[in-house]
Amino acid sequence: MTGRAWGVLLVLCGAIFLEGIDVAMLNVALPAIREDLDLSTGTLQWVMSAYVLGYGGFMLLGGRAADLFGRRRMFVLWLVVFLLFSGLGGLATEGWMLIVARFVTGIAAAFMTPAGLSIITTGFPEGPQRDKALLVYAGTAAGGFSIGLVVGGLLSAIDWRWVFFAPVILSLGILLAALALIPASPRPDRTRQGVDLAGAVTVTAGILLLVFGVERATHVPAVWTVGTVGAALLLFLAFVVIERSSSSPLVRLGIFRSGSLVRANVAGLLFAAGFFGFQFVAVLYLQELRGWSPLQTSFALIVIGVDAVLSPLLTPKLVA
């Protein structure tokens, strides 16, 4: 690869590294955030969930936006949004402010990530060069999570707000490098293409209502929970109807005829649920019940990050 190609790859790896370190640092800082803002456990889990819900709900729309409006433009624009709302999260004085900031930060990542990945798949020729770039990209994402656990412990010992301010500094450096190194994308052909905004809104709203209903189930009457979950299911049904009738659907429903694809996605869903759920409970247990410091907790959990780093490096060799 040329020097400029390596420069572009490093910028894109910096962005995915930023996402990994951002999530990991917040995990370790949760007890300090709860104590300072006087949050309940339910509200605290929304601080974690808000980012994931924004990220997952708008990821498909982010990929389509990169195709329609230009990969470089979407990458740079949403990197700026990520920077701004990460900083606003550090200034939060109420739980709802932090939740909103995390939700918008997750949306920004949902648009930024597919744009960056698309730059790699279109900017590097198919073959060993692209494979190498994708391998470095995946390893960097996992490395960000591992390093974020340690850095989050160090910053939380000073002030939890630095967990949000540190990504601002890193984002600014990546932004300046992106403006200098990433070439402008060709003007996209938008002929007969559209943005399935209705699909993105319905599926995200459905996920939000489902999570909200489950989280509040022990605090409200059963009828309220049934109503909330029922409304979520109706939104999912509306999403299916929208995708079937849309000329540019976010998800082509025919792909679910593939049994191997469905099984792989269900396995991935269960793994992610267990992975993040365990971290949330483990951090609170180690710091609030066992009396461990944030740094001790981060070192205890770093083994998870080691596994995440090795997986993208070893898996291609195992399945080859």
pLDDT tens for each residue of 8-65: 899 999 999 888 888 888 888 989 999 999 988 888 888 888 888 888 778 888 888 8
What is the token pair recorded at 214? 């489950």
Report CA-CA distances (Å) from 22 to 4, 34, 145, 172.
27, 18, 8, 14
The tens digit of pLDDT for each residue in 287-320 reads 888 888 888 888 888 777 666 666 666 666 666 5
Res. 112: pLDDT tops 90: yes
pLDDT band for 236, please (50, 70, 90 cuts): very high
Q: Is residue 289 part of a domain?
A: no
Instruction: Supply the pLDDT for residue 312.
Output: 62
Give the HSE-up count for residue 254: Cα atoms under 13 Å, Cβ half-sphere.
Answer: 3
Residue type, 170: L
- What does the pLDDT average to over 71-75? 91
Residue among 100, 98, 102, 80 nearest 15 (CA) = 80
Instruction: Supply the pLDDT for residue 189.
Output: 62
Helix (H) or strand (E) holding 111, with range, is helix 95-123
Instruction: Supply the pLDDT for residue 1.
Output: 66
pLDDT band for 208, please (50, 70, 90 cuts): confident
Q: Is residue 220 part of a domain?
A: no
Beta-carbon contacts of 130 under 8 Å, excluding residues fewer than 6 positions away, are 120, 121, 124
- What does the pLDDT average to over 202-225? 84
pLDDT band for 5, please (50, 70, 90 cuts): confident
Q: Is residue 93 part of a domain?
A: yes
Instruction: Supply the pLDDT for residue 308.
Output: 63
Res. 115: pLDDT tops 70: yes
CATH number of 25's domain:
1.20.1250.20
Instruction: Supply the pLDDT for residue 190.
Output: 59
Instruction: Supply the pLDDT for residue 270.
Output: 87
Give the HSE-up count for residue 100: Cα atoms under 13 Å, Cβ half-sphere.
Answer: 9
Res. 192: pLDDT tops 70: no
Instruction: Supply the pLDDT for residue 316.
Output: 64
Res. 217: pLDDT tops 70: yes
Instruction: Supply the pLDDT for residue 122.
Output: 85
The tens digit of pLDDT for each residue in 237-267 reads 999 999 888 887 888 888 888 888 899 889 8
CA angle 283, 285, 287 (to 5 degrees): 65
Q: Is residue 180 part of a domain?
A: yes
Q: pLDDT > 90: what percent of the chain?
A: 29
Q: Which residue carries 């450096």 as its tokens? A: 173
Spatial separation of the C-alpha atoms in residues 255 and 242, rounded to whole Å: 16
Q: Is residue 27 part of a domain?
A: yes
Q: Is residue 163 part of a domain?
A: yes
Residue among 17, 103, 130, 117 nearest 66 (CA) = 117
What is the token pair recorded at 279? 């971290």
Q: Where in the sequence is the domain holding 315, given as residue range(s)?
A: 3-185+294-319
Over the chain, what is the mean pLDDT? 85
Beta-sheet strands, E only, within 69-138: none
The tens digit of pLDDT for each residue in 170-190 reads 999 999 999 998 887 776 665
Q: Is residue 36 part of a domain?
A: yes
Number of structural domains, the chain? 1
Q: Is residue 267 part of a domain?
A: no
CA angle 133, 137, 140 (to 5 degrees): 140
Q: Which residue carries 């949306």 as its tokens? A: 107
